[in-house]
Chains A and B, each alone.
Chain A
Amino acid sequence: MRGYLVGKVVQAFLTLLFVLVFNFFLFRVMPGDPAALLLRGSSAYNPQNVAQVRHELGLDQPLPQQFVTYLKDTATFKFGDSFFMQGRPVSTTIRERIWPTILLVGTSTIASIAIGLLIGIYAGWRRNTRFDYGWLGVTLVLYACPEFYLGILVLMAFGAGVGPFPALFPIGGYSTPGAGLSGFSYWIDVLNHLVMPWFTLTFAYLGEYTLIMRSSLIDVLGDEFVMTARAKGVRENDILWRHVVPNALLPTWTLTMLSLGFIFGGAITIELVFSYPGVGWLTVQAITAKDYPLMQALFLLFSGAVIIANLVADITYMYLDPRVRAA
């Protein structure tokens, strides 16, 4: 068991290292001079100032030296100053915008996985019934729909109120600006703004978990121990929940965690659609402004989040599968 744990932590660390190196080279090796870009369009744009900014950013040092500086800075969360935020430190900018994303992505992921797995279990258990086919159909359509488009549809229908649909929710933002609410009513307001993006993010990814769980369940149904349990006289419901599901959860768990990266990606587009002030929308703004320090830090953030999520998944997997505990 210890071997498994250590192995997984080492792996996560190595992956993080890979991401750090990758991140570094990604931005250094790209065409375009960051210093020139920074000053472009401003009156201070001249060769001396560009050279000075390059010096400030440490871009005139040899590459290995830059890498060491980069590692040191990353370790102390010094990501430099954001371009389009007029020189405010990147770390501050991110810190200001991270909570809304945590709220949205956190709750949505849990809901999406929970609902998706449940539907997948029933769809697999009642294979080839109308429930199964019905959900397969819904899942397929949801899968084929880009998550931002689902957001647009929801926004149009329930935000702007198109055709027969009522305008129920505010069309964007985290809370109503200037409303001066506090305490309970403030949280209600936040929730009100959260509904549409949360709904979109949850249902956009629900389908994956359903499919994964369903096929895992169907695989397990063909295993001999299910027949043994039935022959012993175990009730059908108990067969499902006490024999089939614990086994079907194993590959599902790993595959589910693998797809977490996509939810973080979805956060980017959905925050854009709903003007939700989280790090997702920040990413889009960073792209538009070609704000390299910000982009670099955000990329690290997203990758780091996925690595940690995977590590958590691997560790919890240990409690699900006794065969791994013995290893």
Chain B
Amino acid sequence: MRPGLERVGTSAAVGEEPTAPPPPTDPRRIAWARRRRAFSRVAKTYRKNKMGMWGLCLLIFFVLVAIFAPLIASKAGLDPTCTCTGKAYQSPSLQFPFGTDDLGRSVFTLTVWGSRISLIVGLIATLISMVIGSLLGIAAGYYGGWLEAVLMRITDWFLVLPWLALAIVLAALLGPSLIVIIFVIGITSWPSTARIVRAQVLSVKTRSYVERARGLGATNWHLISRHVLPNVGPLILANTVLTVAGAILSETTLSFLGLGDPLSISWGTILEFAFGGGAAVAGDWWWLLPPGICIILVVLAFMMCGFALDDILNPKLRER
């Protein structure tokens, strides 16, 4: 993920508050009650954040479009032999609100259906990236020593490699398919997550309550799952949302370069065919504008939500 979206944070601990009387005696219920309250507090603050709310609305809009694609535009429209297609290279009209492509297909249908692949690839690739990045970040930060040194050295090396060159080479070597794209994006974007997570783990590790718990004989597993994770979790969440934005951009670029699955429709592949077919030079703006604008809007949506979450969950920023 590109730097500039990173905000290296050291946040205050999450779970140190007095419980409301009368307290339930079961410690697990106490913890869950606290978590529910923390969550509703975050939700309320989020609602006040204008940028976050706009982003969320946009996001929900596109997710709904992706889910309900078959209801919005008939899937048959993707098949060039369908009788519902029109003449090629047509500019927008009543029948084809976004015009047609070189095979006479409705660009509107293409754009609506393209949302699915673009979003799915972005989300799954991010999941891979976050899991790898968080695991490595937590391991490096928590265990320290040579493990941390080795992991961080590898992370730094990966950060140095120019992302697109690496992704292109991998995708070219492994062949054009969705799984390859997801894999490639996933393994090229974990380094920045790992870095951020490790920094946060380091700051939590030295908190006195962690040392106290350790003194009481808590195992590593307990410390990680009960103390480290809840404090690192919010930061990972904000980072995840921002990473999705990057992943969607990555998929678009890789598809545009022809490394995507030629049989699947994503906004990136639409642009690939459009540009490859000379749409830019011929001035077929209706073919090029909708998928691109959708990309921009979706990425913007994720970024706005991510920044809003970051603002709320990262106390270092809140002070300003």
B107 to chain A, nearest CB (A): 15
How close is A136's CB to chain B, nearest CB, in angstroms?
Answer: 10
Question: Contact between A218 and B303 (Cβ–Cβ < 8 Å)?
Answer: no
Partner of B283, one of A15, A160, A209, A259: A160
Which A259-304 residues have C-beta < 8 A from chain B? 259, 261-262, 264-266, 268-269, 272-273, 283-284, 287-288, 290, 295, 298-299, 302-303
**Most chain-A CB neighbours within 10 Å: which of B157, B275, B280?**
B280
For residue B263, CB closer than 8 A to chain A, the reply is: no
A27 touches B173 (CB 8 A): yes
Q: How far does the alpha carbon of A185 sit from the alpha carbon of B183 in the complex, in Å?
A: 49
Pair B157/A255 contact, Cβ less than 8 Å = no
Interface residues on A, range: 35 or more
**A146 to B172, Cβ gap below 8 A?**
no
Least CB separation from B171: chain A residue: A287
Query: Which one, A32, A148, A262, A283, contacts B168 given CB within 8 A?
Result: A283
The one of A155, A259, A265, A307 in contact with B164, judged by C-beta atoms closer than 8 angstroms, is: A265
Give 9 closest A-B pairs by Cβ, nearest first: A265-B164, A144-B299, A208-B4, A30-B173, A261-B162, A211-B4, A302-B165, A144-B300, A162-B283
Q: Is the CB of A261 within 8 A of B283?
A: no
Contact A156 B163 (CB under 8 A): no
B283 contacts A146, CB within 8 Å? no
Q: Tell me, in angstroms, the Cα distance from A323 to B182 when the chains sit together.
A: 43
**B162:A160 contact, CB within 8 angstroms:** no
A222 within 8 Å of B by Cβ?
A: yes
Q: Judge whether B108 is part of the interface by a CB distance below 8 angstroms.
A: no
Nearest residue in B to A29 (C-beta to C-beta)?
B173
**A interface residue numbers (CB < 8 A to B):** 15, 18-19, 22, 26-27, 30-32, 140-141, 143-146, 148-149, 152-153, 155-156, 159-163, 171, 207-209, 211-212, 215, 218, 222, 255, 258-259, 261-262, 264-266, 268-269, 272-273, 283-284, 287-288, 290, 295, 298-299, 302-303, 305-307, 310
A15 B160 Cβ-Cβ under 8 A: yes
B259–A283 CB distance below 8 A: no
When A and B form their complex, what is the total count of cross-chain residue pairs whose Cβ atoms lie within 8 Å?
153
Which residues on the B side are within 8 Å of A302 (C-beta)?
Answer: 162, 165
User: A209-B4, A273-B275, A290-B172 given as contacts; is B299 within 8 A of A262 (CB)?
Assistant: no
Distance in angstroms between the alpha carbons of A266 and B275 in the assembled complex:
17
Contact check, B320 vs A222: say whether CB atoms are below 8 A apart.
Answer: yes
Question: Which residues does chain A contribute within 8 Å of B172, judged by CB atoms?
Answer: 287, 290, 295
* B34 located at the interface, meaning its Cβ lies under 8 Å from any Cβ of chain A in the complex: no
- Are B280 and A156 in touch, CB under 8 angstroms? yes
The interface bits of chain B over 308-320 (1 if a CB of A lies within 8 angstroms of the residue's CB, else 0) are 0000000000011
A30–B174 contact, CB under 8 A? Answer: yes
Query: Which residue on chain B has the smallest CB distance to residue A268?
Result: B164
Judged by a CB distance under 8 angstroms, whether B126 is at the interface is no
For residue B2, CB closer than 8 A to chain A, the reply is yes
Is B72 interfacial (CB 8 A cutoff)? no
Inter-chain contact A299/B166, CB cutoff 8 Å: yes
Query: In this assembly, does B20 line the interface, its C-beta being within 8 Å of a C-beta of chain A?
Result: no
Closest to A305 in B: B162
1/0 contact trace for B159-190 toward A, CB 8 Å? 11111111011101111000000000000000
